[in-house]
Amino acid sequence: MDFAFTEDQQTITQAARDMLLETCTPAGLRKMLEQNQALDAARWATITEMGLPGMLAPEAAGGLGLGLSDFIAIAEAAGYAGLPEPLVELAGVAVPLLAEFHDDRGWLARAAAGEIIAVGHAANPFVTDADIAAALLLGHGNEVHLLAPEAVVLTRQESVDPFRRLFRVDWAPGPETRVAASWGLTAERGALFAAAQMIGLGQRCIDLGVAYAKDRNQFGKPIGSYQAVKHLLASAQVKIEFARPVVYAAAAELDLASLPARARAAHAKIAAGEAADLAARSALQVFGAMGMTWEVDLHFFLKRALALKFAWGTPALHRGTVLSRITSLATGPDATFAAELAR
Amino acid sequence: MKLEYTDEQRAFRAEVRKWMAENVPAEPLASFDLTREGFEAHRLWERKLNDGRWGMVTWPEALGGRNLDLIRWLIFEEEYYRAGAPTRVNQNGIFLLGPTMMEFGTEEQKSRFLPRMAAGEDIWAQAWSEPGAGSDLAGVSATATLDGDHYILNGQKIWSSRAVFADWAFGLFRAPGSERHKGMSLVLFPLDAPGVTRRPIARMDGELVFAEIFLDDVRVPVANRLGDEGQGWNVCMATAGFERGLLLRSPARYQVAASKLVALYEAHKQDLPASMGERVAQNWMDAEAYALAIYAMCSRLNAGGKIGPESSTNKIFWSEMDIAMTQTALEILGPRAELMPQAPDAGDVGDWLEDYIFALAGPIYAGSNEIQRNIIAERMLGLPRG
């Protein structure tokens, strides 16, 4: 029993986090919007050179052969940075799904090398980044189909988060497009990595609020010296502190695929969503009217958190999973860990 | 990262489970906060635990412990709560003063006090708060006046849990004329010393859970001071870290309560609206989240880390969780929520009402949650002091 990241995990996370924070700044995000850019080519090249898209792909496919726990804190850092590129969806959702196929038609290696694969799971009827995808994985009943971009028709659906470029995808399934009979744990991985991003987003909102509260003076003092302001931010930090370990545990347990493991991912999604929501609203309150403006950067993170809270299953759906776990399986202090329940 | 026990850890769990099955009293002991008999029954239980070397498994073997790491301590606590074993009457001693003494005490103090503490021979109370010094603990005014190789203690302490029947107290005093954080010392004194008067304070439900302590020229040797002269504040803050952050509230307590809540919900499900299931699920998730956070914290401490401001986030979380969980249980009980267990039609109300009343104090004791939020804001987030 050791609930801590290894030194290797910390090293690779730190390197990825440093790169993301250095290259992905709010000023940079604004520039991308002005230029109507979907993807920062230089940053994506760096992300690919670091091998991040293929972290979870087997080494035989050019990946790093790592597990969910190795990527979870990088997904958190991507949230913290407000990363517009689909690294988390590619590395955390598309790649593990492709790796489960009997025949990936060469796409696993291409995804691991940074080619974008859009994922149209039933939980998310609007497909992100479908316009820049080299291929699309789409659902037909329980089946997974692989489509080329020229075989689909895209209709843009504007999101409140301008970096979430959503599309309705019209397409026709055929025997030649079918690649798998089921989605496996795709929905759970989607929820897990959305949760990790929301932890990062929430922390970013708090950090922005803290910086502003130190700087902004009212009644002759920084507003951050008043307890009413302190307690708003402290309460949000408590929410994050008790959501983050759930997210990390879910990453460590999800491969077991059992109900306790899936309920943990559901819990992670619920808890991270609530934490990010409280953090964003608390930071907004600290910023006051300025927080409602386009000028202040907070909205980049608030809007991403808003979108992710309802992507990959709503909180209500995930509560149902948790409820079925606690009413059908043992609970209590010796029933915490999914691996022990599987014995 | 490995969220799985080793075979040795599983064997340890089995060993604890077996001992608890053979030794935990079949009937709950009488309250230690109402009568001397109930208190002494709990002291005997402490002695039994110590005889089995289960008193404090993390302590060195020379002091009756097993020198185990914090993961094993968590496993011990899990089995302790699973077995429904009695509440530790000496929790102020073993969970608060004990670790503090190991860090700050002299060898003489350790060998004099710790084995007796472990054996339940000395039951300890905390004597920090005063009528005029609650959240502002640095405002204590009780004095320790040096007189040769003795201190003369004077003043009034309040809200001391277990102090009605306890044997010893660890108190925060200041040198006469000193101010605020400077000039404080932590001094140990026997509660039956001449000049000590104890007055029980009845809680809203009638239990005598705490007491006032009046000190009138109480003489204790200077050797009873824990830590250096004038270092009392720092010693207390270390104790407070253990109190809020880890030892006082191990996660098993809440996980067992969550299990009972799930059982209560299942028993009454057919009469309840569907939304109640979501509440129960939320309470269970909170207990799991607390357990996971503590496992992560213990993993970090095992690797050599120190308890930091997360003791404040922990304290806020467990105190709010406790209230939320007991409130859900009371709502499931509905019109029977207010019934005392002895009411003829109380049925399966169990201890939920008493647990709720106790939970209400959670955001107040061990440093109010408002103070904890200040600590988080200033020490974790770096906001300026007011």
Chain A positions in Cβ-Cβ contact with residue B367 (cut-off 8 Å): none
What integer pLDDT is reported at residue B247 of this predicted model? 76
* Pick from A226, A243, A339: CB nearest B4: A339
CA B198 from chain centre, in angstroms, equals 21
CA B231 from chain centre, in angstroms, equals 23
What CATH number does the domain containing B130 carry? 2.40.110.10
Examine the domain organization and report whether B315 and B344 are in the same domain: yes
Instruction: Please tell me the distance from the alpha carbon of residue B365 to that of residue B160, in angstroms, as a whole number.
Output: 10
Examine the domain organization and report whether B129 and B226 are in the same domain: yes
Structure tokens at B175: 């040198």
Structure tokens at B382: 């770096």
B104 lies in some domain: no
Rounded average pLDDT over B258-277? 96
In angstroms, what is the C-alpha Rg of chain B? 21
Cα angle B253, B255, B261; round to 5? 105
List of E strands, A161-314? 166-170, 178-180, 217-218, 221-222
B98 lies in some domain: no
Residue B308 confidence (pLDDT) above 90: no
- Which pairs count as long-range contacts for B94-98, CB under 8 Å and 24+ apart, including other chains? B94/B55, B94/B56, B94/B118, B95/B242, B95/B243, B95/B247, B95/B248, B96/B124, B96/B126, B96/B239, B96/B242, B96/B243, B96/B247, B96/B248, B97/B124, B97/B126, B97/B170, B97/B239, B98/B56, B98/B59
Chain B positions in Cβ-Cβ contact with residue A9 (cut-off 8 Å): 1
List of E strands, A31-184? 117-120, 127-128, 135-140, 143-147, 153-157, 166-170, 178-180
* Pick from A225, A245, A338: CB nearest B296: A245
B2 lies in some domain: no
In angstroms, what is the C-alpha Rg of chain A? 20
| Interface list for B 255-314 with A (CB within 8 A) | 255-256, 258-259, 262, 265-266, 277-278, 280-282, 284-286, 288-293, 295-296, 298-300, 303, 310, 313
B243 is catalytic: yes
Mean pLDDT for chain B overall? 95
Tell me the three state secondary structure of residue A123.
coil
B24 class by beta-carbon count within 10 Å (0-12 exposed, 13-18 middle, 19+ buried) = middle
C-beta separation of B285 from A271 below 8 A: yes
End residue of a domain, out of B89, B110, B142: B89
Tell the CATH superfamily of the A186-341 domain: Butyryl-CoA Dehydrogenase, subunit A, domain 3 (1.20.140.10)
Interchain contact A178–B (C-beta under 8 A): no
- Sheet holding A153-157: strands in order across? A127-128, A166-170, A153-157
Q: How many residues does chain A have?
A: 343
Residue B189 φ/ψ, nearest 5 degrees: -140, 145
* Pick from A1, A210, A252: CB nearest B5: A1
Instruction: Please tell me the distance from the alpha carbon of residue A93 to that of residue B330, in angstroms, as a whole number.
Output: 42
CB-based contact A231 B373, cutoff 8 Å:
yes
Contacts (Cβ under 8 Å, ≥6 apart) of B375: B309, B312, B367
What integer pLDDT is reported at residue B386 of this predicted model? 84
Catalytic position from the list B243, B310, B331, B354: B243
C-beta separation of B76 from B130 below 8 A: no
Give residue limits of the domains in chain A.
7-180, 186-341
User: pLDDT tens-digit profile of B76-112?
Assistant: 999 999 999 999 999 999 999 999 999 999 999 999 9
Interchain contact B348–A (C-beta under 8 A): no
C-beta separation of B92 from B239 below 8 A: no
Examine the domain organization and report whether B328 and B207 are in the same domain: no
Among B311, B324, B319, which Cα is nearest to B361's?
Answer: B319
Chain A positions in Cβ-Cβ contact with residue B278 (cut-off 8 Å): 319, 323
Domain that holds residue B24: 7-89
| Interface list for A 284-323 with B (CB within 8 A) | 319, 322-323
H or E stretch at A215: helix A186-215
Interchain contact A78–B (C-beta under 8 A): no
Higher local confidence (pLDDT), A107 or B366: A107
Interchain contact A230–B (C-beta under 8 A): yes
**Residue written as token pair 């191990």:** B250
Contacts (Cβ under 8 Å, ≥6 apart) of B102: B59, B110, B114
Structure tokens at A262: 């899936």
Does this model's pTM top 0.95? My answer is yes
What integer pLDDT is reported at residue B238 of this predicted model? 83
CB-based contact B316 A238, cutoff 8 Å:
yes
C-beta separation of B377 from A231 below 8 A: yes
What CATH number does the domain containing B269 carry? 1.20.140.10
Examine the domain organization and report whether B219 and B253 are in the same domain: no
> What's at A274, amino acid-wise?
E
H or E stretch at B200: strand B196-201
CB-based contact A4 B380, cutoff 8 Å:
no
In chain B, the largest separation of any two C-alpha atoms, in whole Å, equals 72
Instruction: Please tell me the distance from the alpha carbon of residue B369 to that of residue B363, in angstroms, as a whole number.
Output: 5
B313 lies in some domain: yes
C-beta separation of B376 from A282 below 8 A: no
- At B289, the pLDDT band (50, 70, 90 cuts) reads very high
Chain B residue closest in CA terms to A243: B289
B115 lies in some domain: no
Structure tokens at A321: 């999973």
Instruction: Please tell me the distance from the alpha carbon of residue A193 to that of residue A88, in angstroms, as a whole number.
Output: 7
Residue B307 confidence (pLDDT) above 90: no
C-beta separation of B242 from B307 below 8 A: yes
C-beta separation of B358 from B327 below 8 A: no
Residue B152 φ/ψ, nearest 5 degrees: -110, 115
CB-based contact A331 B77, cutoff 8 Å:
no
Residue B199 φ/ψ, nearest 5 degrees: -130, 115
User: pLDDT tens-digit profile of B150-169?
Assistant: 999 999 999 999 999 999 99
- At B244, the pLDDT band (50, 70, 90 cuts) reads confident
Q: List the end-to-end C-alpha distance of chain B, in Å, as a whole number.
A: 40
Chain B residue closest in CA terms to A204: B381
Residue B249 confidence (pLDDT) above 90: no
B214 lies in some domain: yes
Interchain contact A234–B (C-beta under 8 A): yes
Closest chain A C-alpha to B288 CA, distance in angstroms: 7
C-beta separation of B231 from B274 below 8 A: no
In chain B, the number of structural domains is 3
Instruction: Please tell me the distance from the alpha carbon of residue B208 to that of residue B219, in angstroms, as a whole number.
Output: 27
- Which pairs count as long-range contacts for A337-340, CB under 8 Å and 24+ apart, including other chains? A337/A249, A337/A253, A337/B3, A337/B4, A337/B5, A338/A253, A338/A256, A338/A258, A338/A260, A338/A261, A338/A264, A338/B3, A339/A253, A339/A256, A339/B3, A339/B4, A340/B4, A340/B5
C-beta separation of B205 from B184 below 8 A: no
Instruction: Please tell me the distance from the alpha carbon of residue A302 to that of residue A124, in angstroms, as a whole number.
Output: 20
Identify from A6, A230, A259 which residue to disrupt to test chain B contact, counting B C-beta atoms within 10 A and taking the largest count: A230
Question: For domain A7-180, is the CATH number 1.10.540.10?
Answer: yes
Among B142, B36, B152, B161, which Cα is nearest to B92's?
Answer: B161
B49 lies in some domain: yes
Examine the domain organization and report whether B210 and B276 are in the same domain: no
Structure tokens at B355: 């647990």
- At B208, the pLDDT band (50, 70, 90 cuts) reads confident
One pLDDT digit (tens) per residue for chain A, 343 residues: 999 999 999 999 999 999 999 999 999 999 999 999 989 999 999 999 999 999 999 999 999 999 999 999 999 999 999 999 999 999 999 999 999 999 999 999 999 999 999 999 999 999 999 999 999 999 999 999 999 999 999 999 999 999 999 999 999 999 999 999 999 999 999 999 999 999 999 999 999 999 999 999 999 999 999 999 999 999 999 999 999 999 999 999 999 999 999 999 999 999 999 999 999 999 999 999 999 999 999 999 999 999 999 999 999 999 999 999 999 999 999 999 999 999 9
Interchain contact A206–B (C-beta under 8 A): yes
* Pick from A237, A242, A331: CB nearest B376: A237
B101 lies in some domain: no
H or E stretch at A62: none
Helix, strand, coil % over all residues of chain B, rounded to 5: 50, 15, 35
